[in-house]
Amino acid sequence: MDEKKENINAENEVKVKKKKNHNNHNKWQEQNEKLVKQNAELNDKLLRITAEMQNMKRHFEEDKMRLIKYDGEKLILEILPIVDNFERAIILDDENLSDELSKFLSGFKMIYGNLVDILNKLEVKEIECVGKPFDSISMNAVLIDHIKDVDDNIVIDCMQKGYMYKDKIIRPAMVKVNNKESEE
């Protein structure tokens, strides 16, 4: 009988150990699944952060290139009114001036030519507008006229020149646009 009790006790111990091993196995499996899930979440976060960093770097590089490309824009905007004033000054008729005033005018023309050359080297171009259709992106309509012989929305006069710096409009032209409709 003792032997039977010992066998029963031994069997019970084996069952208890199996149950403990099974419980431990379940706990390890749950922990493993939890760790696998956390690992996947962390990998996903890492990928998102890496992508965000690459986007930030790309945006930074684009901004830097844009700054370099349009480096002289502020200076050019300061010079354009001076160019406008030189253009107004050299419109005078050279024939009706005294020799002294004619020399001043030729000096103004030379300075104006130098300024225009510098602007051309910096890739600053005048926006051609007279006789062309009105473009609201590169032009501001400040006056409207009603000429019957000219098509609608055609620029008939330029009040102030507009300029482009490389591929960017830095000052729209101020223009007079035709509108055939009567003033009624």
**Which pLDDT value is given to residue 184?**
45
Query: Who contacts 127 (Cβ-Cβ below 8 Å, separation ≥6)?
Result: 138, 139, 161, 162, 163, 164, 169, 172, 173
**Which pLDDT value is given to residue 39?**
94
Residues in the chain, total: 184
For domain 126-184, the question of CATH label 2.30.22.10 is answered with: yes
**Which pLDDT value is given to residue 106?**
85
This prediction has a pTM of 0.64
Query: Who contacts 66 (Cβ-Cβ below 8 Å, separation ≥6)?
Result: none
- Is residue 134 within 8 A of residue 141, CB to CB? The reply is yes
pLDDT block averages, 10 residues each, the chain of length 184: 66 68 77 92 94 94 87 90 89 72 84 93 94 94 90 93 94 93 56
